[in-house]
Amino acid sequence: MTAAISTDETPGTGQVGTMGASPSSSPLRLGLLISHLRPEEKAILAAARARGLDVITMIDRELVLDLNAPTAQASGLAVDVVLDRSVAHTKALYTLRTMDRCGIPTLNTPQAVEVCDDKVASSLALAKAGVPTPRTFVCYSVESALRAADSLGYPVVLKPVTGSWGRLLARINGPEQMRVILSQKTEHGGFHHEVLYLQEFVEKPGRDIRAYVVGGRVLAASYRSSEHWVTNAARGAVSRPCPVTPEIEGLALRACEAVGARLAGVDLFETGDGLQVVEVNSGGEFKGLQTTTDVDIAGEIVEEAVRIARLAKRGETAVAAPA
């Protein structure tokens, strides 16, 4: 397995390792799968360097994956664990699957990433676990979507089955608008546009909640407030401190357990009937959340990656929170 790996000093991160380094006397080697160096990845690199880890940056668009290599050694991989921070969902999933086949533990597992990155699969997993979520329908034609919307009641929210940052979301206020939007969507071609994911519109108090889970623990939570109905931080929402109540903690952990994620940003809505889980974001950004808490989120992520690597060396699997 070959990858275009930077061996130069990365601004703000320190010296990184190389894929061909000898493992005999080196510290634990953390493979950091990235698309870009965002503030979160810079913080993770700094935290790993502070702990004396050998960090190998794996830039997704430059990877060359040998799918026939039978083992990690044969593939040329010199990492003990891979931390997924890629924003390219399909590239990340295929890379994690390849790592898993070579016996290299990953945070998150490819199975968890696959569920989290597919809204239909995620909704099914949450529903099976009894986690409260907004009412959701999947349809495959304009006419069937209109029937689903009648059942939900307008307005309804149309979402792509894959994607993040609140992109391509639409609030649809009536059947005529539904016909226009869906007719345009289905003309784009591709199976993603033929799967229509409709969700009830939840009236919320101008905010949602982002709870950040690492290793079976809720590290912190924040309110994300916006005048727009989409309250993603990537769309300009402002983060403010939110106490981690027993309800937030319990629901966030149940949601992560349902999808198999050990590292996730769990998004919740406040409703008159209690909290609902909207999404479980594998990895998840935490730049806004970090401004609201003294918890070293990047450091906790690195510690969990180290823990997973050590458990893997002993032939164990991470199934419980650290003591």
pLDDT band, residue 296 (cuts 50/70/90): very high
pLDDT band, residue 115 (cuts 50/70/90): very high
Q: Which is more confidently placed, 204 or 127?
A: 127
Same-domain check for residues 163 and 297: no
Same-domain check for residues 180 and 305: no
The whole-number pLDDT of residue 75 equals 74
The whole-number pLDDT of residue 205 equals 83
pLDDT tens-digit readout, 274-295:
999 999 999 889 999 999 999 9
Same-domain check for residues 286 and 180: no
The whole-number pLDDT of residue 22 equals 40
**CATH number for 241:** 3.30.470.20
Q: Which is more confidently placed, 163 or 57?
A: 57
Same-domain check for residues 164 and 86: no
The whole-number pLDDT of residue 233 equals 60
Q: Is the pLDDT of residue 320 over 60?
A: no
Same-domain check for residues 119 and 248: yes
Same-domain check for residues 118 and 241: yes
Q: Is the pLDDT of residue 257 over 50?
A: yes
Number of domains in the chain: 3
Same-domain check for residues 26 and 100: yes
Same-domain check for residues 297 and 183: no
State the pairing for strand pair 170-172/156-159: antiparallel
Give the domain extent around 69: 2-104
The whole-number pLDDT of residue 281 equals 94
Could you tell me the pTM of the whole model? 0.86
pLDDT tens-digit readout, 203-232:
888 899 999 999 999 999 999 987 665 656
Residue 259's contacts (CB-CB under 8 Å, 6 or more residues apart) are 112, 115, 116, 122, 125, 126, 280, 282
Same-domain check for residues 115 and 193: no
Average pLDDT in the 229-238 region? 65
Average pLDDT in the 112-123 region? 96
The whole-number pLDDT of residue 182 equals 86
Could you tell me the two tokens for 240?
A: 């403010």
**CATH number for 29:** 3.40.50.20
